[in-house]
Amino acid sequence: MEEAQCTSLSPFSSLHLFMDDAFVESKDGTISVASAFAGHHEAVQDRDHKFLTKAVEEAYRGVDCGDGGPFGAVVVRNDEVVVSCHNMVLKHTDPTAHAEVTAIREACKKLGKIELSDCEIYASCEPCPMCFGAVHLSRIKRLVYGAKAEAAIAIGFDDFIADALRGTGFYQKANMEIKKADGNGALIAEQVFEKTKEKFQMY
């Protein structure tokens, strides 16, 4: 939700206040923005509902096609759908082909760039840590999701990474050792960055 900006105004000033398409005028020192804000908020809700519905439709489509789990995602730019995707884990035999990751990959290909700072993403379900990481790395400016992760966990989807991050280990199933290499292994891995920095520019 966008934060309203507060401005101190003279009671004798004439105010023209814009909030997207909302317009309020006051000439007597009385400023009423409630109706304008309500209209703006309702417009945002309607817009979000429209695109989130598309993401939910993708979730159903993915299951019907046998492509993967019931997850969908839509990338939007300037109120236009760039891509509409669903989970492709089974179709691609790829455990990373979640709906959000697939949508980001396809949007980047379509737009010919690796950052989506002028885009939004709508996901049918709260993104897992991998997908949230992909959203973050793509620099998408806004994420809207529908169901909470617990809704997916409740039917068997394993989100133990999220549980670990949240500190709620109730659903945690996996036991995995994580170790940072030391000695020469760590050294040669760290040298990669130093030795390639002149050849590779991120942006």
Active-site residue list: 100
Alpha carbons 15 and 26: distance in angstroms, whole number: 5
Report the length, in residues, of the chain. 203
Side-chain-side CA neighbours of 181 within 13 Å: the count stands at: 8
- Six-digit token string for 152: 């997916």
CB 128 within 8 A of CB 149: yes
Alpha carbons 179 and 136: distance in angstroms, whole number: 25
